[in-house]
Amino acid sequence: MTGLQILTQPKCAQSFWTALCRCVLTVAAIAVLVGGVCYGYYCQQKRIVFDEKHNELATIANLKTAQILQWRKERLNEATSIYTNAMISHRVNDYVSGIETPRAFEEIRRWMKNQHDFAGYGKVSLFRANGALITSVSDDGQPLTGHYRAMVREAAQGRQVAFSDFHRDEPGGAVDIDIVVPIMYAGNDNSSCLAVLVLDIDPHHFLYPLIQSWPTASRTGETLLVERDGNDVLFLNELRFRNFSALSFRRPLAQKDMPASRAALGYEGICDGVDYRGVSVLSVSRRIPGSPWALVAKVDTREVMEPVIKRVWYVAGACIMLVVALGLAVTLWWTRRKEIYLLEQCEIERRFNRELKEAEQSLQEAHSRLEQRVSERTRELSDTNDKLRQEIAERGRLEQQLFDAKKLESVGQLAGGVAHEVRNPLNAILTITEALFKETEIESNPDYAPYIQHIRAQVKRLAHLMNDLLELGKTIPASNLHPVSLYELCRDTLALWQSSGMAENRLGLLEADHEAATTLVLADSLKLQQIIFNLLENAGHHSPAGISILLSLPGSAGLVSSDGMAVVRVTDAGKGIPEERLSRVFDPFYSDRKGGTGLGLALVRHFIGNMGGTARLWNNDPPPGCTAEIRIPLVSRAEH
C-alpha cells in the first residue's frame, strides 16, 4: 500500500461517516416534525368535532325548547277556549242554579267525557267554587286528593287560568301537571265564578317521549328537564341511564361542574362538564320561558371523540409508514454510499476485489428486500384506502338516514300541530251539535235522525284522522318492546280484519306451519297489529271482490332472513302499482286511491322503523297484484 493510499483511505471513511450522521439526524428531525403534525391534527380535529357537536346540541336544545313551548301554548289555548265558552258556563249555571239539573248534569258530564277521550287528558274534574266536587272523569277512577281543593279555591279567587308545575298527588303516586280553569258566568251586575274545571295532564303520554326522543343516531345522547328545588337540582323527566328518576332524583347545586346544576341556576349556552353519572359530557342548556324549567341537551365526550381518535390513528399510521419509507431511503442511500466507498477502496487496493464483489451481492439482496417491503407497504396502503372508501360510503348512508329522520320528524311536528289545532273546533262542533239536537223540537223529530248520525260519523272519522296524525309524530319507547308470538298476533289481526267492512266479499288466508307457532319477535304488540291490519286493509282496497288475500308467516316458506329478522308478507291480486309510484307509497299523505288519507303505509314504515325493522312493497312477477313485506327483529334466546 502506497503513502497516497494510506492518506486517502481515512479521509474517505471520515466523509462517509459524517454524511451518514447528517442523514440520521435529518430522519430524526423529520420524525419529530411528523409527530408534531399528528398532534396538531389531533387538536384541530378535536376542536372541529367539538364545535360541530356543540352546534348540533344547540340545534337540538332549541328544537326541544320550541316543542315544549308549543305544547304549553296549545294546552293554555285549550284552557282559554273553555274559559271563554259561553255555552259551558250557561249549562253549569243551569246546574248550579237548579234549572234542568239532571239534563244539565248529563250534558256537562258528556262534554267532560269528550274532553277526556278526544283531548287526551288523564282526569277531568269539575268543582264548585267552594271546593266541593261536582263530577269527575278519569282513567284510573282513583279518589281525588286534598290538593285539588286548594287549587280550586285559588282559581276561584284569582279567576284566571293556571298552569301547575310537575307534582305528585300523593307520595309515590304518578307524576302529572294540572290546568285549572275557572268557569265564569256574567250576571246582571258583574261576573262570578260558578265552578272550577281541573284538567290533569299525564306527561308520560306526550311530554316525556318528546323530551326523551333524540333526532340522530347516538348511544349516549340525552335531553334533561330540570328545575331548582332549594339547594338541589331536581330532575323532572325519566333519565336514559336511571330508572324511576322523574321528580325523585336530585343532585346538589354545589356541583358546579354538572351541566344540570348550572342550567338550574339560570345559565344558558355551552356548559361542558360531568353529568349525574360522573361521566364527562358536552352539553348545551336553555331556559323554558314562562316556567321554572331548564333544558339540557348532552352527549358523552367519549362518543364524540371516537371518530376523531379513529382518524388520528389512520393519520398516525400513514405518518409511521412515511418515516419508515424515509428510513428505508436512508438505508438505500447508505448502502449506495457504502458501494461507492468500496469502489474507491477497490481502486486504491486491488486486493479487495473479492470483498467488493461480496458487497455488491449483498447490495442486490438488500435491494430485493427493499422492493418486497415497498410492495407490501403498497398493498397495505391499498387496503387502507378501501377501508376509507367504505367508511365514506357508510357515512353517506348515515347522513341520508339522518335526513330522512329529520324529514319525518318535521312532518310529524307539522301533523301534530295541525291535529291539535283541529281538535278544538272539532270538540266545539260536537258539543254545540249535541246540545242543539237535545232541543225538544229537534230530538223528537225523526227527520233529523239521519243528519245526526251523519254528523257523528264524520266527527268520529275526523277524530281517527287526528289520532293517525299524532301517531305519525310519536316514537315508540324501547320499554314498550316485548316478546310477541307472531303467529297468534297475525291470526287475531286477520280475524279482526275479516270482521271489518273492508273484508266484505274477500277471503283472508293465513299460510303457516308448526314452526311459525314458536316464532317470537321483539315488538309493541298493539303497533305491530296496527301495521299488519293496515297492510291487509291496503291489500283489500286494491283487490277486486271475490279475491283471496294471502298472509304468509315465518316457517311456511323459509321466510326468516339471514340477519335474524322475522318476515311477514301480505300478497294481493289487484292491479298492482305503477313503477314510477312505488318509491312514494310510504310517504306521508301520498295516496292514489279516492278517499284515502295517505297515512296507512306511512304509519307502517314509521312504526316498523321505531321497532328496528324495515318495510318494502313490490309488484308481483308474474302479475297480478303486489306484495308488502315487513321485517321484525326476532327475540334471541338470551332475551327470551
Mean pLDDT across the stretch 495-517? 77
pLDDT tens digits, 356-376: 788 888 888 888 889 888 988
Q: Which residue has the higher pLDDT, 346 or 72?
A: 72
Distance of CA 277 to CAs 208, 248, 273, 297, Å?
Answer: 20, 16, 11, 15
One-letter-per-residue 3-state SS of 437-506: HCCHHHHCCHHHHHHHHHHHHHHHHHHHHHHHHHHHCCCCCHHHCEEEEHHHHHHHHHHHHHCCHHHCCC
| pLDDT of res. 232 | 93
Residue 549 has pLDDT above 80, yes or no: yes
Residue 590 has pLDDT above 70, yes or no: no
pLDDT tens digits, 321-335: 888 887 788 788 878
Range ranked top by mean pLDDT from 139-143, 511-515, 620-624: 620-624
Alpha helices, H only, 84-100:
86-97
Cell of 159: 279567576
| pLDDT of res. 221 | 92
Residue 582 has pLDDT above 90, yes or no: no
Mean pLDDT across the stretch 59-79? 90
Look at residues 392, 376, 402, 218 and name the one whose alpha carbon lies nearest to residue 310: 392
pLDDT tens digits, 409-434: 666 666 666 666 676 777 777 777 77
CA-to-CA distance for 374 and 243, rounded, in angstroms? 57
* Burial of residue 228, with CB atoms counted within 10 A of its CB: 0-12 exposed, 13-18 middle, 19 or more buried: middle
Q: Mean pLDDT score of the chain, rounded to an integer?
A: 81
Look up the CATH superfamily of 478-633. Answer: Histidine kinase-like ATPase, C-terminal domain (3.30.565.10)
The DSSP code sequence of 123-163 is EEEEEETTS-EEEEEESS-PPPPTHHHHHHHHHHHH-S-EE
With cut-offs at 50, 70 and 90, classify the pLDDT of residue 555: low
Range ranked top by mean pLDDT from 17-21, 175-179, 257-261, 461-465: 257-261
The residue extents of the domains of the chain are 478-633
| pLDDT of res. 94 | 83
| pLDDT of res. 558 | 47
| pLDDT of res. 635 | 86
**332-347 as b/e: b if 16+ CB within 10 A:** eeebebbeebbeebbe
pLDDT tens digits, 97-123: 887 778 888 888 888 888 888 777 888
Look at residues 210, 215, 223 and name the one whose alpha carbon lies nearest to residue 61: 223
pLDDT tens digits, 129-173: 888 888 888 866 555 666 777 788 888 888 888 888 888 877 777
| pLDDT of res. 173 | 78
pLDDT tens digits, 235-264: 999 898 988 888 889 999 999 899 999 999
The DSSP code sequence of 340-353 is HHHHHHHHH-GGGH
